């Protein structure tokens, strides 16, 4: 388990130029994700959820405000291997085996694989892919490929795990199963986690708190603490308290949406 680090955004603004016109993606966003917490970001398309993840990965820089991981600039944290990321597209390299795909961040960071082979084997088992270490992506199902992507995100033992709709392309039954798996993996790693999702049920099932965003410009509209004990079991999905929280988040989410 890596060192516990927080993610902090302080009064962050970010704009882009689209079609020759300036577009403000984020307008004064402040967000603090404490060490070993699990935060879910939910909001309409275009509200800046993925922009926040890109800022935390150092793929974008803020026009104004501060983004820090463990009190350090993002670039330093990324270079030190403190961040891991999984996107909706597993983005596995088709010519690489499961083992080699998981090892990719080590190769990029210039770390020798030798000392990490045991860790890679543990991750393969952790994500339920024992026996598939030599398999190529074409030999795996969509859910299995996402398991590889999550293992790859964890191989450097990151302090911050960033997840951008990792199960968005899966059907509802498989998505529920993967939510259970992600919870199990997170309880084992306890990395500070920020999840972007469009699923209210997914956010409530997985997170310690759900942050609702509104758009034009992207901003935080409300935050909901999730009171349910861990580990959370499938029966929770039918609990009236679960549905009451879903409804409250949904009301706030839809209230902040722009009319079509």
- Where does CATH 3.40.50.300 sit in the chain? 1-82+159-260
CATH superfamily name and code, 1-82+159-260: P-loop containing nucleotide triphosphate hydrolases (3.40.50.300)
State how far the Cα of 154 lies from the Cα of 132, in Å rounded to an integer. Answer: 18
How many DSSP H helices and E strands does the chain contain?
Answer: 9, 10
3 state DSSP class of 73: strand
Residue 81 phi, psi (nearest 5): 80, 20
- pLDDT for 91-146, tens place per residue? 899 999 999 999 999 888 888 887 778 889 989 988 889 999 999 999 999 889 98
Residue 216 falls in which region: left (phi positive, over 0), alpha (psi -120 to 50) or beta = left
Give the model's pLDDT for residue 8: 96
Give the model's pLDDT for residue 256: 57
Angle at 63 between CA 58 and CA 68, to 5 degrees: 45
Asked if 69 and 83 count as a contact pair (C-beta separation under 8 A), the reply is: yes
What Cα–Cα distance (Å) separates residue 187 from each residue in 37, 190, 193, 206?
11, 5, 11, 11
Average pLDDT per 10 consecutive residues for the chain, totaling 260 residues: 82 88 90 96 90 93 94 90 87 94 90 83 89 94 89 89 84 84 88 93 96 92 96 94 96 70
Asked if 212 and 249 count as a contact pair (C-beta separation under 8 A), the reply is: yes
Asked if 30 and 185 count as a contact pair (C-beta separation under 8 A), the reply is: no
Give the model's pLDDT for residue 52: 95
Give the model's pLDDT for residue 202: 93
The position carrying tokens 């598939």 is: 132
Retrieve residue 50's tokens.
Answer: 């993925």
Give the model's pLDDT for residue 260: 41
DSSP annotation string for 116-171: GHHHHHHHHHHTT-TT-TT--GGGS-HHHHHHHHHHHHHTT--SEEEEESTTTTS-
Give the model's pLDDT for residue 240: 96
3 state DSSP class of 198: coil
Asked if 5 and 69 count as a contact pair (C-beta separation under 8 A), the reply is: yes
């Amino acid at each position: 388990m890596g060192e516990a680090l927080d993610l902090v955004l302080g009064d962050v603004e970010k704009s882009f130029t689209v079609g020759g016109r300036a577009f403000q993606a984020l307008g004064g966003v402040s967000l603090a994700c404490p060490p070993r917490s699990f935060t879910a970001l939910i909001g309409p398309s275009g509200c800046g959820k993925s922009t926040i993840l890109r800022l935390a990965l150092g793929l974008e820089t803020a026009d104004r405000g501060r983004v820090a991981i463990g009190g350090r600039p993002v670039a330093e944290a990324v270079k030190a291997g403190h961040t891991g990321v999984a996107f909706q597209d597993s983005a596995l390299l088709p010519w690489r085996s499961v083992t080699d795909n998981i090892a990719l961040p080590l190769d990029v960071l210039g770390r020798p694989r030798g000392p990490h082979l045991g860790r890679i084997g543990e991750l393969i088992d952790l994500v339920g892919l024992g026996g598939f270490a030599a398999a190529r992506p074409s030999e795996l199902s969509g859910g299995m490929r996402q398991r590889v992507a999550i293992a790859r995100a964890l191989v450097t033992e990151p302090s911050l795990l960033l997840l951008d709709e990792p199960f968005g392309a899966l059907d509802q039954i498989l998505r529920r199963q993967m939510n259970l798996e992600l919870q199990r993996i997170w309880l084992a790693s306890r990395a500070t986690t920020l999840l972007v999702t469009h699923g209210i049920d997914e956010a409530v099932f997985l997170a310690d708190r759900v942050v609702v965003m509104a758009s034009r410009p992207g901003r935080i509209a409300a935050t909901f603490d999730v009171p349910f004990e861990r580990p959370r079991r499938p029966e929770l999905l039918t609990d009236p308290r679960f549905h009451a929280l879903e409804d409250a988040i949904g009301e706030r989410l839809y209230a902040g949406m722009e009319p079509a």
